[in-house]
Amino acid sequence: MLSIWPITGIGEVARGADLGELIAAAVAGAGGRDAGPATAGTRQLPGREHPIAVAQDAAADSPPGGWMLRDGDVVVIASKVVSKAEGRVVAAVDREQAITDETVRVVATRAHGAGLTRIVENRLGLVMAAAGVDASNTPAGTVLLLPVDPDASARGIRARLRELTGARVGVIIADTSGRAWRQGVTDMAIGAAGVTVLDDLRGGVDREGRVLSATVVAVADELAGASELVRGKACGVPVAVIRGAASWTTHHDGGGARAIVRPAADDMFRLGSDEAYRRGYEAGRAAAERDPVAGQ
Amino acid sequence: MLSIWPITGIGEVARGADLGELIAAAVAGAGGRDAGPATAGTRQLPGREHPIAVAQDAAADSPPGGWMLRDGDVVVIASKVVSKAEGRVVAAVDREQAITDETVRVVATRAHGAGLTRIVENRLGLVMAAAGVDASNTPAGTVLLLPVDPDASARGIRARLRELTGARVGVIIADTSGRAWRQGVTDMAIGAAGVTVLDDLRGGVDREGRVLSATVVAVADELAGASELVRGKACGVPVAVIRGAASWTTHHDGGGARAIVRPAADDMFRLGSDEAYRRGYEAGRAAAERDPVAGQ
CATH of the domain at B270: 3.30.1330.100
Any B CB within 8 A of A290 CB: no
Any A CB within 8 A of B64 CB: yes
Nearest Cβ partner for B282 among A267, A275, A284: A284
pLDDT in tens, B172-224: 999 999 999 999 999 999 999 999 999 988 777 666 666 665 689 999 999 99
Please indicate, yes or no, if residue A296 is contained in any of the structural domains.
no
Please indicate, yes or no, if residue A107 is contained in any of the structural domains.
yes
- Smallest CA-to-CA distance from A261 within B182, B161, B210, B129 is with B182
What are the angstrom distances between the C-alpha of B20 and each of B29, B71, B153, B177, B280? Answer: 14, 16, 10, 25, 50
What pLDDT score does B210 carry?
Answer: 62
The amino acid at residue A272 is: G
Any A CB within 8 A of B237 CB: no
Any A CB within 8 A of B271 CB: yes
pLDDT, mean of each 10-residue run, chain A (296 residues): 94 94 92 51 50 44 90 97 95 89 96 88 96 84 95 98 97 96 97 96 68 81 97 79 96 97 96 98 94 62
Please indicate, yes or no, if residue A295 is contained in any of the structural domains.
no
What pLDDT score does B172 carry?
Answer: 98
Q: What are phi and psi of A112, to 5 degrees?
A: -140, 100
Any A CB within 8 A of B1 CB: yes
Any A CB within 8 A of B290 CB: no
What are the angstrom distances between the C-alpha of B234 and each of A236, A246, B195, B229? Answer: 36, 17, 27, 11
Give B230 or B50, the one with higher predicted confidence: B230
Please indicate, yes or no, if residue B295 is contained in any of the structural domains.
no
Report CB contact under 8 Å: A268, B110: yes
Q: How much is the average pLDDT of B42-62?
A: 50
What pLDDT score does B236 carry?
Answer: 72
**Substitution target from B73, B109, B229, B279 for chain A, most A beta carbons within 10 A:** B229
Please indicate, yes or no, if residue A148 is contained in any of the structural domains.
yes
Report CB contact under 8 Å: A267, B207: no
Average pLDDT across chain A, whole number: 87
Please indicate, yes or no, if residue A294 is contained in any of the structural domains.
no
Query: Which residues in chain B are closer than 8 Å to A137, comparing Cβ atoms?
Result: 206-208
Any B CB within 8 A of A215 CB: yes
Instruction: Please report, for chain A, how many H helices and E strands are present, in that order.
Output: 7, 14
Please indicate, yes or no, if residue B265 is contained in any of the structural domains.
yes
Query: Which residues in chain A are closer than 8 Å to B262, comparing Cβ atoms?
Result: 180-183
Any B CB within 8 A of A66 CB: no
Query: Which residues in chain A are closer than 8 Å to B268, comparing Cβ atoms?
Result: 108, 110, 119, 180, 272-274
pLDDT in tens, B261-278: 999 999 999 999 999 999
**Substitution target from B202, B273, B290 for chain A, most A beta carbons within 10 A:** B273
Report CB contact under 8 Å: B268, A181: no
Please say whether the beta carbons of B118 and B131 come within 8 A. yes
Please indicate, yes or no, if residue B296 is contained in any of the structural domains.
no
Residue B26 has pLDDT above 90, yes or no: yes
What pLDDT score does A166 carry?
Answer: 97
Any B CB within 8 A of A230 CB: yes
This prediction has a pTM of 0.89
Any A CB within 8 A of B104 CB: no
What pLDDT score does A32 carry?
Answer: 63
Nearest Cβ partner for B233 among A208, A212, A259: A212
Query: Which residues in chain B are closer than 8 Å to A222, comparing Cβ atoms?
Result: 186-187, 225-226, 228-229
- Smallest CA-to-CA distance from A221 within B172, B229, B230, B186 is with B186
Distance CA(B162)–CA(B175), nearest Å, equals 23
What pLDDT score does B278 carry?
Answer: 98
pLDDT in tens, A117-174: 999 999 999 999 999 998 877 888 899 999 999 999 999 999 999 999 999 999 999 9
Query: Which residues in chain A are closer than 8 Å to B119, comparing Cβ atoms?
Result: 268
**How many domains are there within chain B?**
1
Report CB contact under 8 Å: B288, A283: no
Any B CB within 8 A of A115 CB: no
Any B CB within 8 A of A291 CB: no
Query: Which residues in chain A are closer than 8 Å to B182, comparing Cβ atoms?
Result: 188, 218, 221, 260-262
- Smallest CA-to-CA distance from B292 within A287, A276, A278, A274 is with A287
Q: Which domain holds residue B194?
A: 3-289
Nearest Cβ partner for B186 among A57, A127, A221: A221
Please say whether the beta carbons of A58 and A125 come within 8 A. no
Q: CA of A207 to nearest chain B CA: how many angstroms apart? A: 6
- Smallest CA-to-CA distance from B233 within B78, B126, B87, B84 is with B78
